[in-house]
Structure 1
Amino acid sequence: MKLKLLYSDLKSDLDVIEKELATAVNSSSHLLNEASLHLLLAGGKRIRPVFVLLSAKFGDYSIDSIKNVAVPVELIHMASLVHDDVIDDAETRRGRETVKTQWNNRVAMYTGDFLFARAIEYITVLENTYAHEVLSHTMVELCIGEILQIEDKHLIDQTVRDYLRRIKRKTAILISASCALGAIASGADEKTIRHLKRFGYYVGMSFQIIDDILDITSTDEQLGKPAGSDLLQGNITLPVLYVKNEPTIAPLLKEMLDGSISEDNKQQLLTEIRNSEAINHAKQVSNMYLQKALNEVKQLPANSAKKSLQNIALFMSKRKF
């Protein structure tokens, strides 16, 4: 089953979000418009707006007001991707040239800054100050996550705790905020907001761990970028942490992180990791977070969105690519 089938009933509202995103990235600068639209047209799962919409179903749902939350969380996600690609020197994303490749690093950085600013501008229509606090805190944590990733690059002497702290800030916190903001904007009660916020955090952790597993186990075609690109960029992920000291892996890993590895040795390293127990260990950690997310769903009031949240969490944490 495709992910979009799990929230097909939201299609008309997501179309509203998509049109609003196109409006949001518009500016008086032709170059900025081109760069922003290049990123927007690359598509994506739009999973963060989906979580906003589903979470809003636990309150007084109105797409006209909820879009003012769904749009900024996606803009923040887009901005973080543009900045990520500069930091990682990535040439492709989702099978397309990145903004930095199509233009240059300076254009990419200002495009990301512009999208961040637009996100702040959009949410100002909400009078609820808690929503502003959640969004601003999320943006601060995202930036800290980016810096942590830079600090941890090529650093083999790091722990699982370091990794989990990093992915919390880089991925989980924005999904958590998406769920919380949807509920806040629709006027859901405090207990429901807390459960949705925790649900988003656990789903985000599970999702990112699976993403890091797939970076090693998937093909270039499935990923839309070279397999093992995280490692090539010096990012140490959970599966790698579990096998970094293995005799057959350690020397190849050092070559990879030094940037001196041949294509044959790179493929050998990926094969060694794929055939190790590291993949299963990482999947177990992802599943632990998934179960925590499902436990939060159980505490939510009964409605159609509850089942959708459960199904999406299961899909995201069990996907093959």
Structure 2
Amino acid sequence: MQQASLHLLQAGGKRIRPVFVLLAAKFGRYDIQVVKDVAVALELIHMASLVHDDVIDDADLRRGRPTIKSKWDNRFAMYSGDYIFAKSLELMTNVENPVAHQILSNTIVELTIGEIEQIKDKYRFEQNLRDYLLRIKRKTALLIAASCQLGAIAAGVEEEVHRKLARFGYFVGMSFQITDDVLDFTGTEKELGKPAGGDLLQGNITLPVLFAMKDEKLRSEIVKVHENIGSDEMTHIIELIKNSNAIEKSLEFSDRYLDKALEVLDELPNNKAKKTLRDIALYIGKRKS
């Protein structure tokens, strides 16, 4: 289990959740060890969800490296994800505030529902914008919101401030995931660490796809996607989506959430952490990989 966990850790990643925990804690006075434990716990929850995701999506690559399920097998991967998840909860025992545990529990419940909904929605081309936004809220945004809020709570930050930090994290998380979904079409395999268009190939209907399907001709091409589609056909569909207005409209949608995040940030007390949070939010809006 430890070897599998280390394998996933060595694959790298952005580590934005622990960064948000540490920065949010700077709005209060904190015990660095407790805050570090919270930061690691939030990243471990994210890692566990990735392990399970790779089993669900039958993914062989994650950040350019073999996934746990491809290096070992599905059963081992599921238990590895559970093990990583359990270690995260173990770390959270150092946080005494019951509100923190309630927030974390609710977040994990929503994350799990999001995973189940993603399975149910595979290749369901009739889904709508509301379905998509609710799914990314559960799968991505709420965990980033929790990272901001729990970091603040661990540092004894007052309720008004830690609630605003949660809202900031939520809006950033929504923008982050939409940008991720755009990059799945515009990025290269080297940048993504997996083949471009992988989400659509696995049946995950993202915002660029929803916008592209508003064009009936494009829709008729996209709905042909299935698990055994040929690589040439898939490349053709990816190019159609890239050359439509779907990418631009998706990025505009991402920017709306980013603007809301910056508005909330303006309401927070001024300190160095606030400036860094702004820089990270702006980076998320402009990133290319």
Q: TM-score, normalised by structure 2?
A: 0.98
Distance 1:248-1:221 versus aligned 2 partners, 3 A rule: farther
For 1:274, the aligned partner's letter is: K
1:230 maps to which residue? 199
- How far, CA to CA, are the matches of 2:235 and 2:217 in structure 1? 13
**Does the alignment pair 1:284 with 2:252?**
yes
| Cα shift at 1:247 | 4.0
Which letter does structure 1 place at the counterpart of 2:168? F
Match of 1:120 in 2: 89
- Give the counterpart letter for 1:94 in structure 2: R
Equivalent-residue separation in structure 2 for 1:73 and 1:127 (angstroms): 16
Which residue is equivalent to 1:37?
A: 6
Structure-2 residue corresponding to 1:201: 170
Indicate the residue corresponding to 2:261 in structure 1.
Answer: 293
Report the secondary structure of 1:59's partner residue.
coil
Q: Aligned pair 1:265/2:237, yes or no? A: no
| Shift, 1:248, TM fit | 3.6
SS in 2 for 1:66: helix
**Among 164, 172, 184, which residue is 2:141 paired with?**
172
- What is the SS of the residue equivalent to 2:157? coil
Task: Note if contact 1:78-1:112 (Cα within 8 Å) is conserved in structure 2.
Answer: yes
Could you tell me which residue of structure 1 aligns to residue 106 of structure 2? 137
Aligned counterpart in structure 2 of residue 185 of structure 1, from 149, 154, 158:
154
One-letter amino acid of the structure 1 residue matched with residue 242 of structure 2: R
**Counterpart for residue 19 of structure 1:** none
Would you say 1:78 and 2:51 are equivalent positions? no
- 240-249 or 132-141: bigger deviation: 240-249
Measured after TM superposition, the shift of residue 115 of structure 1 is: 1.2
1:255 to 224, 227, 237: 224
Please report the TM-score for the alignment, with normalisation by the length of structure 1. Answer: 0.88
Q: Is the 8 Å Cα contact of residues 176 and 201 (structure 1) preserved in structure 2?
A: yes
| Residue identity opposite 2:250 in structure 1 | A
2:209 paired with 1:243: no
Tell me how far 1:111 sits from its aligned partner: 0.6
Give aligned pairs, total. Answer: 289
Equivalents in 1 of 2:41, 2:94: separation in Å? 11
Spell out, residue by residue over 1:82-118, the C-alpha distance to the aligned partner (whole angstroms, 9 max, x if none): 0000000000001000000000001100011111111
Name the structure 2 match of 1:54.
23
Contact persistence 1:252–1:261 (CA under 8 A): no
CA distance in 2, matches of 1:154, 1:286: 23
What amino acid does structure 2 have at the position aligned with 1:161?
A: R
CA distance in 2 between counterparts of 1:61 and 1:305 reads: 14
- What 5-or-longer segments of structure 1 have no aligned partner? 1-31
Whichever residue aligns with residue 232 of structure 1, its letter is L
Q: Residue 71 of structure 2 corresponds to which residue in structure 1? A: 102
Query: Is there any run of 5+ residues in structure 2 with no aligned partner, and where?
Result: none
Give the secondary structure class of the aligned counterpart of 1:121.
helix
Percent sequence identity over aligned pairs: 58
What secondary structure, in the 3-state scheme, does the structure 2 residue paired with 1:270 have? Answer: helix
Cα distance per residue 1:155-203 (max 9 Å; x no partner)? 0001101000000000000000000000000001111101100000000
Give the CA deviation at 1:245: 4.5
Counterpart Cα distance in 2 of 1:261 and 1:159: 24
Structure 1 stretches of 4+ moved >3 Å: none
Partner amino acid for 1:163? Y
Amino acid at match of 1:210: T
After TM superposition, give the deviation of residue 280 of structure 1 in Å. 1.0
Task: Give, in angstroms, the shift of residue 130 of structure 1.
Answer: 0.6
Q: Distance in 2 between matches of 1:55 and 1:113?
A: 27
SS of match in other structure, 1:168: helix
8 Å CA contact 1:228–1:270 kept in 2: the answer is yes
The root-mean-square deviation of aligned C-alpha atoms, in Å, is: 1.0
CA distance in structure 2 between the aligned counterparts of 1:228 and 1:238, rounded to whole angstroms: 13
User: How far does residue 260 in structure 1 lie from its aligned partner after superposition?
Assistant: 4.2
